[in-house]
């Protein structure tokens, strides 16, 4: 896989049973790139190790006053220099390719999971954790994947050098062959503590990211209540905890790095001292001493890869664990994957809610959170899948037995806080749809006339065409009511079998709300529409109104019928308190009591 071939046509099905298994799965799926990096790494590392042989030959040639062997050593040095240059260049190229392609695979997997879960993702996983996984964690996972092949090349080079020294000069070679594994494994006792400290640092950094994300998302509310300094203080405290954890972790990694410098230095001094004695005794030649010394000195380069792979694994393992946790989320507990179609009544077994096909059904919930969970469930995205979960039925077919694309084509859920992406208004409304509803009809039904006028006035070099006017990120240049109506128009354009709207007019005034309710009712005539709301203006337009109390349907009827007969409905819709209800009932009884007193007085007069 090359960078120019990205994105992947299919990133695959990851092994998300654990973070380590996920890393192994990533490495296995990039086996070709890993092999290339390994081979170029071997060329580089063996080229560096071969320098000691060439230098030893050159020194021995000078001692023996052999011009021919000196020229041969010079040619070997030139050849090794070229091999090192090519190997270093190609190793860097393949390693970066492995890094980027691994990161791209993880990002594609996360994007696919985000598209699958939709708004439910942030209900199951904190928004800050999602941000951390899709940014810093992706880079750390890619780092481990690309470092793996370079580590393998370094380890294999060390083995080959030790074997070569034993064959070339057994006396010194045995010393090096025994010392090198000790150097490579000396840091192992320190790794568990370093890994724990790195995990603590990553955990604290993730919490700080979550806090920052939540604070930014609620900044407007915080300013409204004067809470900026409070949350800023919390973030300062969290960032200081991250700093202390990072320093604590860095100390351990500094100790590991010091060990990786100290022990090879001691081995180098030992080899030099022992080799010098052997050379003075005439047991080895000067060139052989130089070769052994150079081999040990140059082995410091591959030894650094042992430290790097330990650090990369320590940092990438918690990142991979978080990514696996996100990727393990599913739309429902069980998905059969059958290509089925469904149409008809929408029924939620959990609450008993029935939305007849082709009718405008309004749902009233006293608890806004319960309304949000119901909206997710109606869209086939239960917030908390549990064992024994019963899916919403569309025409008797469970939504979680439909392919994701079929389920989304059948049921569309608009959140109470929909997001507008940046781009022109035409691009905003250019969404997958049945084609039966035009953008103009949807905008008219959502009563977006004033929005179009505002966009026309704000247009730059578009000739006053609102459809070509760019909308800023999340529609920040528009008011809350304008954003809400544009989002409603986008949902109406798709023209799904079932449209579920969660508080679609909560940010507009009552006059506009009444017009929007009439427009939606007219445009969706003959199609199934479910609106979760408590506004009388919307409820009065519904064919039937369903009251849900404690996650259960307790009353069904028209808006006016429920106002007369259902106190719980009246309390939610009219915001009537218990005291106000008692006073109203008392006033209703008052005429009857006065009539009874009058009759009693008349009877007493007749008897007298």
Sheet holding 498-502, edge to edge: 411-414, 498-502, 528-532, 360-365, 544-548, 553-557
Distances (CA, A) of 580 to 105, 439, 571, 593: 60, 46, 10, 20
To the nearest 10 degrees (0 to 180), the angle between helices 300-327 and 138-168 is 150
Tokens describing residue 489:
């128009």
Whole-number CA gyration radius for the chain? 36
What pLDDT score does 574 carry? 84
Is 156 a member of any domain?
yes
pLDDT tens-digit readout, 83-135: 999 999 999 999 999 999 999 999 999 888 887 777 667 667 766 667 777 77
Is 259 a member of any domain?
yes
Tokens 């969706």 map to which residue? 524
> What's 116's domain CATH number?
1.20.1560.10
Residue 429 CB contacts under 8 Å (≥ 6 apart), including other chains: 439, 442, 443, 489, 490, 493
> Into how many domains does the chain fold?
3
Cα of first residue to Cα of last residue in the chain, in angstroms, is 111
Is 2 a member of any domain?
no
What pLDDT score does 260 carry? 78
268 and 135 together in one domain: yes
Full domain range(s) for residue 594 = 577-608
Nearest one of 406, 434, 396, 417 to 331, comparing CA atoms: 406
Specify which residues 499 forms β-bridges with: 412, 529
410 and 375 together in one domain: yes
What pLDDT score does 333 carry? 45
Is 452 a member of any domain?
yes
Is 332 a member of any domain?
no
566 and 585 together in one domain: no
587 and 527 together in one domain: no
311 and 355 together in one domain: no
Those residues of the chain that have pLDDT short of 70 are 1, 119-120, 122-123, 126-129, 213-228, 331-342, 382-390, 460-462, 474, 576-608
317 and 381 together in one domain: no
Question: Please, what is the Cα angle at 204 between 203 and 206, to 5 degrees?
Answer: 65
538 and 584 together in one domain: no
Is 337 a member of any domain?
no
Is 340 a member of any domain?
no
CA distance 464 to 375: 38
Nearest one of 76, 68, 2 to 33, comparing CA atoms: 2
In contact, 351 and 552? CB cutoff 8 Å: yes
pLDDT tens-digit readout, 151-182: 999 889 888 888 888 888 888 788 888 888 88
pLDDT tens-digit readout, 200-229: 887 788 778 777 766 666 666 556 666 667
């Amino acid at each position: 896989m090359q960078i120019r071939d990205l994105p992947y046509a299919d990133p695959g099905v990851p092994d998300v049973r654990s973070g380590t298994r996920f890393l192994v799965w990533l490495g296995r799926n990039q086996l070709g790139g890993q092999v290339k990096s390994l081979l170029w790494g071997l060329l580089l590392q063996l080229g560096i190790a071969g320098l000691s042989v060439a230098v030893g030959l050159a020194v021995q040639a000078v001692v023996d006053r052999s011009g021919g062997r000196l020229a041969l050593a010079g040619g070997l040095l030139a050849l090794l220099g070229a091999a090192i240059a090519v190997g270093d260049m190609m190793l860097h190229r393949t390693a970066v390719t492995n890094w980027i392609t691994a990161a791209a695979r993880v990002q594609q997997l996360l994007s696919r999971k985000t598209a699958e879960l939709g708004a439910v993702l942030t209900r199951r996983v904190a928004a800050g954790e999602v941000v951390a996984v899709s940014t810093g964690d992706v880079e750390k996972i890619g780092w481990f994947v690309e470092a793996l092949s370079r580590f393998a090349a370094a380890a294999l080079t060390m083995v080959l050098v030790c074997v070569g020294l034993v064959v070339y000069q057994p006396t010194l070679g045995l010393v090096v062959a025994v010392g090198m594994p000790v150097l490579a494994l000396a840091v192992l006792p320190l790794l568990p503590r370093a890994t724990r400290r790195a995990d603590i640092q990553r955990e604290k950094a993730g919490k700080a990211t979550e806090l920052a994300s939540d604070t930014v998302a609620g900044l407007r509310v915080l300013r409204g209540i004067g809470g900026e300094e409070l949350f800023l203080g919390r973030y300062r405290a969290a960032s200081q905890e991250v700093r202390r954890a990072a320093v604590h972790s860095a100390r351990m990694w500094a100790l590991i790095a010091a060990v990786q410098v100290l022990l090879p230095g001691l081995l180098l001094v030992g080899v030099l001292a022992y080799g010098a004695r052997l050379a003075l005794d005439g047991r080895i030649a000067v060139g052989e001493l130089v070769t052994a010394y150079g081999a040990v000195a140059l082995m410091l380069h591959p030894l650094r890869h042992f430290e790097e792979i330990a650090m990369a694994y320590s940092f990438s393992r918690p990142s991979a664990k978080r990514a696996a946790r996100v990727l393990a989320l599913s739309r429902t507990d069980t998905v059969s994957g059958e290509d089925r179609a469904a149409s008809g009544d929408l029924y939620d077994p959990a609450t008993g809610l029935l939305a007849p096909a082709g009718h405008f059904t309004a749902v009233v919930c006293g608890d806004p959170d319960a309304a949000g969970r119901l909206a997710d469930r109606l869209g086939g995205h239960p917030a908390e899948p549990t064992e024994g979960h019963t899916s919403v039925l569309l025409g008797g077919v469970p939504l979680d037995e439909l392919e994701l694309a079929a389920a989304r084509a059948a049921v569309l859920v608009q959140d109470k806080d929909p997001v507008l992406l940046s781009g022109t208004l035409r691009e905003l409304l250019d969404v997958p749809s049945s084609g039966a509803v035009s953008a103009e009809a949807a905008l008219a039904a959502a009563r977006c006339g004033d929005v179009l006028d505002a966009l026309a006035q704000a247009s730059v070099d578009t000739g006053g065409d609102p459809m070509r006017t760019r909308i800023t990120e999340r529609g920040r240049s528009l008011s809350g009511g304008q954003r809400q109506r544009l989002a409603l128009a986008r949902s109406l354009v798709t023209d799904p079998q079932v449209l579920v709207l969660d508080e679609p007019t909560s940010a507009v005034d009552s006059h506009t709300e009444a017009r929007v309710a009439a427009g939606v009712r007219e445009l969706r005539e003959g199609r199934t529409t479910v609106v979760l709301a408590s506004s009388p203006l919307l409820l009065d337009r519904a064919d039937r109104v369903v009251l849900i109390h404690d996650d259960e349907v307790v009353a069904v009827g028209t808006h006016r019928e429920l106002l007369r007969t259902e106190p719980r409905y009246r309390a939610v819709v009219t915001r009537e308190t218990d005291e106000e209800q008692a006073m109203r009932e008392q006033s209703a009884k008052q005429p009857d009591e006065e009539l009874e007193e009058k009759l009693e007085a008349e009877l007493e007069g007749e008897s007298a």
